[in-house]
Amino acid sequence: MKLRHVRVEAANTSGITTYTYEFGVVFEDPEGAPVRTSSSAIPYVSPDTTETLDVAAFYVPGAGESTTGVTCALDDVTREAQ
């Protein structure tokens, strides 16, 4: 079992509005097949600030599969005013 993680950063450049950012993270094996997905949020990011969140997933490779080359991508990113 291998742990894969990514640090997601939400930068709120608004001078007056607080936002919550919601997003998915898709982890893919070296062939591009999804091995794990995660839905996450970075809530209440104040104006002119940046917040981060570490998103992790455990990946259990099949027999003979490599644990290197797993990639991740953001998916379905939204932001909502609070």
Angle at Cα 8 formed by Cα 74 and Cα 57, nearest 5°?
70
DSSP labels for 21-78?
EEEEEEEE-TTS-EEEEEEEEEEEE-TTEEEEEEEEEEE-PPTT--SS--EEEEEEEE
Task: Please state the pTM of the whole predicted model.
Answer: 0.81
Can you give the residue ranges of every domain in the chain?
A: 2-81
User: Which pLDDT tens digits describe the chain residue by residue (82 residues)?
Assistant: 667 788 999 999 999 999 999 999 998 888 888 888 889 999 999 999 999 999 987 777 777 776 677 888 899 999 999 9
pLDDT of residue 67: 67
Which residue has tokens 């982890």?
27
